[in-house]
Structure 1
Amino acid sequence: MATPATKSLGELDSGARPHVMFIPSAGMGHLLPFFRFIASLAGHDDDVDISVVTVLPTVSAAEADHFNSLFAALPHVRRVDLHLLPLNASEFPSHDRDPFIVRWEALRRSAHLLGPLIAGAAPRVSAVITDVTLTSYVIPIAKELGVPCHVLFISCATMLSLNAYFPLHLDKKKKAEQHEQGLAGGIGDVDIPGVRRIPWSCLPQPLLDLNKLFTKQFIDNGRENINADGFLVNTFDALEPAALAALRDGKVVPGFPPVYAIGPLRSQQHSNSAAAEVEKEEDSSPVAWLDKQPARSVVYVAFGNRSAVSHAQIREIAAGLEASGCRFLWVLKTTKVDRDDSAELTDVLGEGFLERLQLGQHGLVTKAWVDQEALLKHPSVGLYLSHSGWNSVTEAAAAGVPLLAWPRGGDHRVNAMVAVSGGVGVWMEHWSWDGEDWLVTAEEIGKKVREVMSDAAVRARATRTGEEAAKAVAEGGTSYRSMQQFISTLKATGHSDLIQPLH
């Protein structure tokens, strides 16, 4: 149902304008691309009705704040609340209790509630855009209703090719009765036609175990992808030419739906709300500190919204940054869910570290929310030490800032491959990631930070990639044209037959 601050779907004027209903998932890494795409669509064309399914309760305070900011900034965007059915996380094995993977499963099990929301909307829904984590449930519902269903894929095109091809890879291995003993239970490397070979060591860790909840979701969604009406991907042609060409030409999966490269998605000027302004005020300290630093002298350090690094590794990072001799701004996170992040900086970083920073004025550590996109564009930032989540890769690419990739889990190693091949940065392939119980030492971290900060060739490649990113989204660019093509598709569906009744 609609919140009091927004119009209900039944209050809308009917007409030929296409009405697009967005169905995002959970986790800020998934939500931010949705928010940016919604703002971009609203900015490109005001002749499109937009509604957004808001899943309640949200996993984190950050999610709730960003939803509120979206609706405050874009009052013509309608909010449709979906209250999840109860799900007891204890029914899953302990290794499947990641709060976000559990949320995706709760969404999938409540997906049947979307049918009445879509069918009952007025004006009628002419297209649905869903998160890839929900495709195996949402696409069949949309098809039954006769509504086109597009997927906003929040990772790279290379990862999309893996998601689409992985079920075929498993089928081929089963058919050939290949059992590669010792290689991650027989999963082996995945050689994606027309794209690249993904070593098994670079696959998202859960995919190495076919019994994991995430793996089952991944396979189900991958099989259903072929039935989507199109994929919107937060990338651009110059960054992933091979993967995009292979998907579009049907080399990965014959007959794959149209793929629109619409990135890098960026925050829109008008998307700021009163809530966001308060957050920016809280961020004035990091920005003010950056303003005092020389050009390209600061290493920005952040490992994403859900990548928690162990306290022991955090202390090695701290010592390494200090030993590097480089200025740094570190946005530190110690838990996967923000409401659980109550650790004091002094306890995490060790006695004396913050005091030395204050005296030397060459570093700043914060746990506050920051506008990462804006920080990366700050002239003082010269390097980004990152987990290589896809939002972070595209933000670094757009800013022309070199990325030092330290993948932590999930799609991060696949993203790091793209970051290297696309000229965004460099990847320390032997550095540890989630599940490995050894530490990267302070000495190695400090040495690598110094090395990349002084590497003119790395910086030049990142600058060129930034220029290509700017060309892509500028009028006439590849991503701009893809967006226009997609909007034309939406408008064509706005005049199609009436929605089919639910059976």
Structure 2
Amino acid sequence: MAPSTATTMAAATAGDGEVDGSNAPAPHVMFIPSAGMGHLVPFFRFVSALSSRGGVRCSVVTVLPTVSAAEADHFAGLFAAFPSVHRVDLNLLPFDASAFPGADPFLLRWEALRRSAHLLGQLVAGAAPRVSAVVTDVTLASHVVPITKRLRVPCHVLFISSAAMLSLLAYFPVHLDKNGKSGVGDVVDVPGVRAVPRPCLPQPLPDLDHLFTKQFVDNGRAIVNADGILVNTFDALEPAALAALRDGTVVPGFPPVYTIGLLKSVGSHSGGEKAAAAFAAWLGEQPARSVVYVAFGNRNAVSHAQLREIAAGLEASRCRFLWVLKTTVVDREDDAEVRDVLGDEFLERVAGRGMVTKGWVDQEAVLGHPAVGLFLSHSGWNSITEAAACGVPLLAWPRGGDHRVNAMALVSGGVGAWMEHWSWDGEDRLVTRREIEEKVQEVMADATVRASAARVCEEAAMAVAEGGTSERSMQEFVSKLKAT
């Protein structure tokens, strides 16, 4: 059977009426997210925030089939929690992935989405009421922006990483044009922001023939033509990068940049209530700031050898810990038990002091618990912003992608510390148990790091409060929608 697109609308309630008591209809924003929870979570949070304000009609393109069970759960949770948000189903066209052997499954999904992107034009043009604006994920920008230009619909890009990473994306095509046949070189010096050494770039980026690099360059060129960029950050966290983007230092004529962070969950978007209750009960028995929370994101699997070193390091640190274990990139393939990976002896030795799970964790709730004193993280931007919002120091162990650029931003912003020599995906060296033990103990005891994280937490709260920089940015964006 030939694939088709189908539109399914959830029940329309709040947000579908008039604006400000006038006869003008509410603006209709269509969101086009990508794949991977790191991309979907900020989309869901922004949709939630916009829907909660009222006066704006939201629809969300749901790409089928989803890559992971977590994605399916979160989509279902969003529409259940916000019945005013309309669901628009997009069935992907067939895609032969055999041309990209061994490629990351989420990178393949992005490519499949790009190759089906022309179908989005039908959804935008045929929507009722008419679409006032589109908000697309950056991974689809090079295909969505031209479609919206042709339909004369404003298009904004929701950038799910740091402003530092946004500046690298915007400048990278310019850098390549300047370097010519020299390629990437040893460093990418982003004007007004920072010099990014080659080892800190996303791993595939130096290979100009890599699928990721081609997507990255295409999207970097396209975002300059967007009507605006929405970034989950706030001005006090990344002042240099935001200033350089806004004043045209990075790329002349760059679109308006709206700082809308730090985005938080509004309502419940997934299950796991029993697990959440169990974690809360255990955390409630621990002293204040005594627990190390360990998690490396939704799509970052760590080798079994490295997992064993982490286990030994946590045990030797004598710190309490809550560890979310992940052994595969796609959760549907993750069927190993905790004891299969770490062994019964380890679990018996740390019983009562450590908790290890492969299940769902409400990370915001965990980080917001007073017992948590440190977050050992891959430095994905969602994790960084959640730690910043809760005032929990973050010990960054980048695993790949944008993580090292984000780690630079978190250190300069005062969120935590980064072990620059710790290896990431594709590098041979194991980080030893002794290194992990010593660094965890060091950062847990560092009053200066704690004070800095607390300051960032206060700045984040001020940004989203009435009159704050992020609240003003959100108001400006909504006003622009209503003027469309």
Per the alignment, residue 162 of structure 2 pairs with: 156
User: 1:249 offset after TM fit, Å?
Assistant: 0.2
Distance 1:300 1:221, change over 3 A: same
The question of whether the paired residues in 1 share the 8 Å contact of 2:201 and 2:402 is answered with yes
Per-residue CA deviations over 1:232-264 (Å, capped at 9, x if unaligned) read 000000000000000000000000000001101
2:71 is aligned with 1:75: no
2:332 is aligned with 1:339: yes
Per the alignment, residue 25 of structure 2 pairs with: 16
Find the aligned partners of 2:428 and 2:345 in 1 and give their Cα distance: 26
User: 1:92 offset after TM fit, Å?
Assistant: 1.4
Q: How does 1:223-238 map to 2 (within 5 A)?
A: 223-238=221-236
SS in 2 for 1:20: strand
Q: How does 1:52-451 map to 2 (within 5 A)?
A: 52-94=60-102, 97-174=103-180, 179=182, 186-268=184-266, 271-272=267-268, 276=270, 278-358=271-351, 361-451=352-442
Distance 1:261 1:198, change over 3 A: same
Per-residue CA deviations over 1:279-330 (Å, capped at 9, x if unaligned) read 1222221111101000000000000000100000000000000000100000
- Give structure 1 regions of 4+ aligned residues with deviation exceeding 6 angstroms: 11-14
Per-residue CA deviations over 1:320-365 (Å, capped at 9, x if unaligned) read 000001000001111111111101111211340111122xx11100
The question of whether the paired residues in 2 share the 8 Å contact of 1:280 and 1:370 is answered with no
User: 1:90 offset after TM fit, Å?
Assistant: 1.2
Distance 1:199 1:139, change over 3 A: same
Find the aligned partners of 1:405 and 1:98 in 2 and give their Cα distance: 23
Find the aligned partners of 2:31 and 2:64 in 1 and give their Cα distance: 15
User: 1:5 offset after TM fit, Å?
Assistant: 5.0
Per-residue CA deviations over 1:15-61 (Å, capped at 9, x if unaligned) read 532100000000000000000000111122x1111100000000000
The question of whether the paired residues in 2 share the 8 Å contact of 1:2 and 1:78 is answered with no
User: 1:186 offset after TM fit, Å?
Assistant: 4.6
SS in 2 for 1:320: helix
SS in 2 for 1:207: coil
The question of whether the paired residues in 1 share the 8 Å contact of 2:17 and 2:55 is answered with no
Find the aligned partners of 2:197 and 2:131 in 1 and give their Cα distance: 42
Find the aligned partners of 1:7 and 1:290 in 2 and give their Cα distance: 40
Normalised to the residue count of structure 1, the TM-score between the two structures is 0.92
Find the aligned partners of 1:490 and 1:339 in 2 and give their Cα distance: 39
The question of whether the paired residues in 1 share the 8 Å contact of 2:10 and 2:86 is answered with no
User: 1:3 offset after TM fit, Å?
Assistant: 3.4
Give the partner amino acid of 1:202.
C
User: 1:437 offset after TM fit, Å?
Assistant: 1.4
Give the partner amino acid of 1:3.
T
Give the partner amino acid of 1:32.
V
2:7 is aligned with 1:2: yes
Find the aligned partners of 2:131 and 2:294 in 1 and give their Cα distance: 42
User: 1:6 offset after TM fit, Å?
Assistant: 4.5
The question of whether the paired residues in 1 share the 8 Å contact of 2:34 and 2:140 is answered with yes
Sequence identity percentage: 72
The question of whether the paired residues in 2 share the 8 Å contact of 1:52 and 1:78 is answered with yes
Give the partner amino acid of 1:397.
A
The question of whether the paired residues in 2 share the 8 Å contact of 1:298 and 1:328 is answered with yes
SS in 1 for 2:8: coil
User: 1:206 offset after TM fit, Å?
Assistant: 0.8
Q: Name stretches of at least 5 consecutive residues in structure 2 with no aligned partner.
A: 1-5
Give the partner amino acid of 2:384.
V
SS in 2 for 1:283: helix
Q: CA RMSD in A?
A: 1.5
Give the partner amino acid of 1:260.
Y
SS in 1 for 2:223: helix
Per the alignment, residue 46 of structure 2 pairs with: 37
The question of whether the paired residues in 1 share the 8 Å contact of 2:176 and 2:184 is answered with no
Per the alignment, residue 3 of structure 2 pairs with: none
The question of whether the paired residues in 1 share the 8 Å contact of 2:9 and 2:87 is answered with no
Give the counterpart of 1:477 among 449, 468, 476. 468
SS in 1 for 2:205: helix
Give the partner amino acid of 2:333.
D
The question of whether the paired residues in 2 share the 8 Å contact of 1:12 and 1:122 is answered with no
The question of whether the paired residues in 2 share the 8 Å contact of 1:129 and 1:150 is answered with yes
The question of whether the paired residues in 2 share the 8 Å contact of 1:131 and 1:151 is answered with yes
Give the partner amino acid of 2:108.
V
Give the partner amino acid of 2:278.
S
Give the partner amino acid of 1:434.
D
Normalised to the residue count of structure 2, the TM-score between the two structures is 0.96
Per the alignment, residue 501 of structure 1 pairs with: none
Per-residue CA deviations over 1:148-179 (Å, capped at 9, x if unaligned) read 000000000010000000000000001xx5x3
SS in 1 for 2:350: helix
Find the aligned partners of 2:8 and 2:354 in 1 and give their Cα distance: 43
Find the aligned partners of 1:351 and 1:57 in 2 and give their Cα distance: 37
Find the aligned partners of 1:186 and 1:332 in 2 and give their Cα distance: 35
Distance 1:393 1:4, change over 3 A: closer
Find the aligned partners of 2:47 and 2:404 in 1 and give their Cα distance: 28
The question of whether the paired residues in 2 share the 8 Å contact of 1:260 and 1:482 is answered with yes
Of structures 1 and 2, the one scoring higher in RCO (CA 8 A, sep 6+) is: 1
The question of whether the paired residues in 1 share the 8 Å contact of 2:310 and 2:436 is answered with yes
Find the aligned partners of 1:344 and 1:43 in 2 and give their Cα distance: 39
Distance 1:353 1:84, change over 3 A: same
Distance 1:482 1:4, change over 3 A: closer
Find the aligned partners of 1:88 and 1:346 in 2 and give their Cα distance: 37
Find the aligned partners of 1:186 and 1:371 in 2 and give their Cα distance: 39
The question of whether the paired residues in 1 share the 8 Å contact of 2:138 and 2:157 is answered with yes
Find the aligned partners of 2:450 and 2:229 in 1 and give their Cα distance: 32
